[in-house]
Amino acid sequence: EAMEKSRPLWDNPLQFVFACISYAVGLGNVWRFPYLCQMYGGGGFLIPYFIMLIAEGMPLLYLELAVGQRMRQGSIGAWKIISPYLCGVGASVVVSFFLPMYYNVINAWAFWYLFHSFQDPLPWATCPLNSNRTGYEEECEKTSSTQYFWYRQTLNISPSLEASGSVQWEQALCLMLAWLVGYLCILRGTESTGKVVYVTASLPYCVLIIYLIRGLTLHGAVNGLVYMFTPKLEQLSNPKAWISAATQIFFSLGLGFGSLIAFASYNEPSNNCERHAIIVSLINSTTSIFASIVTFSIYGFKATFNYESCINK
């Protein structure tokens, strides 16, 4: 009881829901879900996806929230209370340590592009001039300005696996900044994280709405949307489509990482975690579909532009 009293709490249930949404909504929605839709039957992929959401996503999310809220401990401690033999299950929280290793690299790239976006013209808009200033860089002309900026100026990629290359100090500083921001977000536990989640939960939607408005006004956007939502029902007989739907639910909701148990452990024991499990899972899946509309409108523009350029040439 003393431990329960000393455990910090979210200021209100909304903070907890926002924390779960911030945790669930991410690359899995914006990149992985549209990719799987494209791979496994467009709109037809939604059938196995929603079946898996109801069959495994919601029950497991409810289980994790209930365990964390009832035991008022992190993943390892909660499973240990249930049974000492289940202590190893809680060790899945180690995965949550490995995740920031590569996610912060992506955050570092985001900072890198953000800092470079204050230039006019944008550095990835056109190819840079060569050393003689008589024309454009040959490597850039063979690919595109965006690819050149990514591979040569951002990654400065080495020619082979044998050549490790040198440390890119500007990118290293961006990576340090990404880790620092993450540290500041969790510095004071629920007191600081509870305030941060209001931004991290709502900002992706603001950005997606801006992208949606821009994407739908692009030439050829409708082609992308038609391609995405045209169901290819023959894929329903493909076992890989069902396996991909199941893994996408796990990946997107963040099940099995131990983080959801930790989030729920800061709730009041009387909190209605069943309702929150349904709300979070539905918001997460709706976001996936919404992000797919944004993504495929841009894909449609890019495909139409490349096709028409090819015809003109």
Q: What's at 254, amino acid-wise?
A: G
User: Who contacts 66 (Cβ-Cβ below 8 Å, separation ≥6)?
Assistant: 264, 273, 274
d(CA 24, CA 283): 9
Beta bridge partners of 23: none
Asked if residue 55 belongs to a known ligand binding site, the reply is no
Please report, in angstroms and rounded to a whole number, the separation of the first and last CA atoms in the chain: 75
Cβ–Cβ < 8 Å for 109, 154: yes
CA–chain centroid gap for 85, Å, is 33
Asked if residue 222 belongs to a known ligand binding site, the reply is no
Residue with tokens 């809220």, as numbered in its chain: 69
Asked if residue 271 belongs to a known ligand binding site, the reply is no
Q: Is 110 left (phi over 0), alpha (psi -120 to 50) or beta?
A: alpha
User: Who contacts 97 (Cβ-Cβ below 8 Å, separation ≥6)?
Assistant: none
Asked if residue 25 belongs to a known ligand binding site, the reply is yes
Asked if residue 29 belongs to a known ligand binding site, the reply is yes
Name which of 73, 87, 51, 95 is nearest 255 in CA terms: 95
Residue with tokens 């409810």, as numbered in its chain: 62
Residue 265 φ then ψ, to 5°: -65, -15
Peptide bond into 123 cis (omega under 30): no
Q: Which residues are annotated as a binding site for Na(+)?
A: 24-25, 29, 252, 284
Q: Which residues are annotated as a binding site?
A: 24-25, 29, 252, 284
